[in-house]
Amino acid sequence: MEVSEIKEKWLVIVNVFAASEKAGSIWKRSAAYMEAEGISYEARYTGGEDNATELARKACGEGFRRFVAVGGDGTIHDIVNGIAGFAEDNKVKLSEFTLAVIPLGSGNDWARTFGISKNIKSALRLLKDGRVARQDMVKVSLLNASGAEVGSRYMANIAGIGLDARVCEIVNHKKKQGYRGKKLYVSALFYCIKHRVPVAAKVMCDGQTIFDGKYLSMALGTGKYSGGGMRQTPLAVPDDGLIDVTIIPDIPMSVIARKVITLFTGTFHTVKQLILARGSEVVVLPSGQAAKEPLEVDGEVVGRVPAKFKVLEDQLNVMVP
């Protein structure tokens, strides 16, 4: 498509459903701050005909290259997908785009990874005084039985398969009912552990088989945090060009119960029963019933395995402290 002249001002995308639907009023105060600071911007809102992905993609075509996400991890995921999808389809470098975030979600895991404050003024100050860091982007391709791509999304933080994805299904359902908070994730996690159903899969990392057997859950991340502060990939580095993989095999319930605390202390990687790996491309090939296992990307359930995860060559710019 033809791209309009590049714009210097920020395009603010406000998720009106964030912060228990208080994001609109919070944004009004934020807008006053931006105007007082002389920050040039234009604001657009979800809740109409377009979601955040469509709003971001259209804005890219209009020449916007600097975006502010007002919302949580789901909002960031959607905006990043609009940007990355536009860049790939139109052969535009991802490094032309910059993302800033005003974190208003219940988890704010992406913002936590980058040390972005939940204080609105502090987050907004980064638009003028912050530094530019780089963020790896991962293309997640859904595959059919013959290995052909049948759909794709882009990942900015962490993906999960199995138990983790089932937790997301429960949490997202509860959020629609108005529930919020860290306890929501923890209670869903314990429920899924109690009702766990191990399935089998083969996992390949940069062409090498790293796991082939029954598992409870898998996490694949460029970021450290998910589920409101849990660290399934605690050693992940957002700009090293690699995906950190953590696989929980079919291990006894007693071991799981003793080790759950390490998800919150940043020491999960020390659990000796885990399978850990790191690479630029990861393929998950399920066996039997595992083909029905859900796949979540940045907290959004996007489909079922099999799937391929590949780090893009270019990186996104992000505003950080």
**Does residue 320 fall inside a structural domain?**
no
Cis? peptide before 249, omega within 30° of 0: no
Distance CA 146, CA 218 (A): 22
Q: Is residue 34 assigned to a domain?
A: yes
Joined together, the tokens standing for residue 283 give 């393929």
Q: Are strands 98-103 and 64-71 parallel, antiparallel or unpaired?
A: parallel
Please tell me which residue, 223 or 257, carries the higher pLDDT value.
Answer: 223
- Shared domain check, 298 and 169: yes
Please say which residue of 66, 94, 129 terminates a domain: 129
Of 283, 317, 296, nearest to 153 by C-alpha is: 296
The yes-or-no verdict on residue 1 having pLDDT over 60 is: no
pLDDT of residue 52: 95
Q: Is the pLDDT of residue 302 over 70?
A: yes
| More confident site: 33 or 59 | 59
Residue 74 lies in a domain: yes
In angstroms, the CA 59 to CA 51 distance is 12
Using alpha carbons, list the distances in angstroms from residue 55 to 12, 33, 98. Answer: 10, 23, 16
**3-state SS string for the chain:** CCCCCCEEEEEEEECCCHHHHCHHHHHHHHHHHHHHCCCCEEEEECCCCCCHHHHHHHHHHCCEEEEEEEECHHHHHHHHHHHHHHHHHCCCCHHHCEEEEEECCCCCHHHHHHCCCCCHHHHHHHHHHCEEEEECCEEEEEECCCCCEEEEEEECCEEEEEHHHHHHHHHHHHHHCCCCCHHHHHHHHHHHHHCCCCEEEEEEECCEEEEEEEEEEEEEECCCCECCCECCCCCCCCCCCCEEEEEEECCCHHHHHHHCCHHHHCCHHHCCCCEEEEECEEEEEEEHHHHHCEEEECCEEEEECCEEEEECCCCEEEEEC
Residues 289 and 146 in one domain: yes
- What's the CATH number where 22 sits? 3.40.50.10330
- How many domains are contained in the chain? 2
Q: How far apart are CA 176 and CA 319, in angstroms?
A: 30
Q: Both 55 and 158 in a single domain?
A: no
Q: Residues 275, 142: one domain?
A: yes
Residue where a domain terminates, one of 73, 107, 129: 129
Query: What is the reported pLDDT for 23?
Result: 79
pLDDT of residue 18: 78
Task: Answer yes or no: is 180 within a domain.
Answer: yes
The model's confidence at residue 253, banded by pLDDT at 50, 70 and 90, is: confident
pLDDT at residue 110, as a whole number: 96
Structural domain range at position 125: 7-129
306: domain CATH number?
Answer: 2.60.200.40
- Asked whether residue 318 is assigned to any structural domain, the reply reads no
307 and 170 within one domain: yes
Distance separating alpha carbons of residues 211 and 202, to the nearest angstrom: 6
CB of 155 closer than 8 Å to CB of 298:
yes
Check: pTM over 0.75? Answer yes or no. yes
Distance, C-alpha 15 to centroid of its chain? 16
157 and 103 part of one domain: no
Whether residue 93 is found in the same domain as residue 201: no
Gap between the Cα atoms of 303 and 287, Å rounded: 16
In a domain, 1, yes or no: no
In this structure, is residue 145 part of a structural domain? yes
User: Does any domain span residue 321?
Assistant: no
Asked which of 15-19, 24-28, 78-82, 232-236 is least confident by mean pLDDT, the reply is 15-19
The reply to whether 109 and 234 lie within a common domain is no
Radius of gyration of the chain (CA): 19
Residue 256 to residue 108: CA distance in whole angstroms:
26
Q: Are residues 169 and 299 in the same domain?
A: yes
Domain boundary among 129, 150, 165: 129
Query: How many CA atoms are closer than 13 Å to the CA of 77, on its beta-carbon side?
Result: 24
What percent of the chain lies above the pLDDT cut of 90?
66
Residue 179's pLDDT is what? Answer: 64
Domain match, 184 and 70 both: no
pLDDT of residue 39: 93
More confident of the two residues 19 and 278: 278
pLDDT per residue as tens digits for the range 202-214:
999 999 999 999 9
Q: For residues 208 and 74, state if they share a domain.
A: no
